Amino acid sequence: MPTEKGERGHVAINLRHDNLTPVPVRHANIGIDQRVTKSHILATRFHAKRIHVVTIGVLFVCTANICRSPMAEGAFRSMARRAGLDSAFAIDSAGTFDGHVGEPPTLRAVIAASRRGYAIGALRARQVVPADIARFDYVLAMDRCHLADLQWMAPRALIGRLHLFTSFDSRSRSVDVADPYGGDARDFDGALDVIEAGCEALLKALTPLAERAASRVDRVLL
């Protein structure tokens, strides 16, 4: 099932239409039964309450958004989904360089990610903008150069949202995620090793917040 990217401050709710049970409802005016799915009821209830569920915004940033950051986005999204916490996050990736905007991840990145169960081929590169720092709670730089670029564009009040990606993994011996661009399959696998470990550590650190956010989504759907 496709997953939509939600924005911080809102929640994108995906309803599985193949598992919905039609509910007979008596039409008040014409006196016949109509088949109304649970999705209609849930959607009506959600909008009627005008509830905005705050999600945790996570943005991964590398140079061109065609290697490291899309692999991180795909890995973290999959890990959050397996943990049942995907509804608690708004996940995205971007690059500091605009030279590949609109392009898919490199083929080697797509292959390396797919071998580990992460589908990233549909992603498209975009450039990070100052508004992203206001939108996302955790803006994660793949290396120190990216962090410096982000610090340059961030308002002073939002500097605390910027982090070096590997800083969440206390066991990591890498400060930077090495850029595999132009390398071979081993370079991409090596970068993905660091990325997977970092994403696991990040998810562990954010799980308490995510569980609270996910519970709010569940209450909206009840």
Q: Catalytic residues, which ones? A: 62, 68, 179
Beta strands 138-141; 56-62: pairing state: parallel
Nearest to 59 by CA among 117, 119, 1, 146: 146
| Helix (H) or strand (E) run with residue 121 in it | none
CA atoms within 13 A on the CB side of 118: 28
- Contact of 179 with 67, CB cutoff 8 Å: yes
Residues in the chain: 222
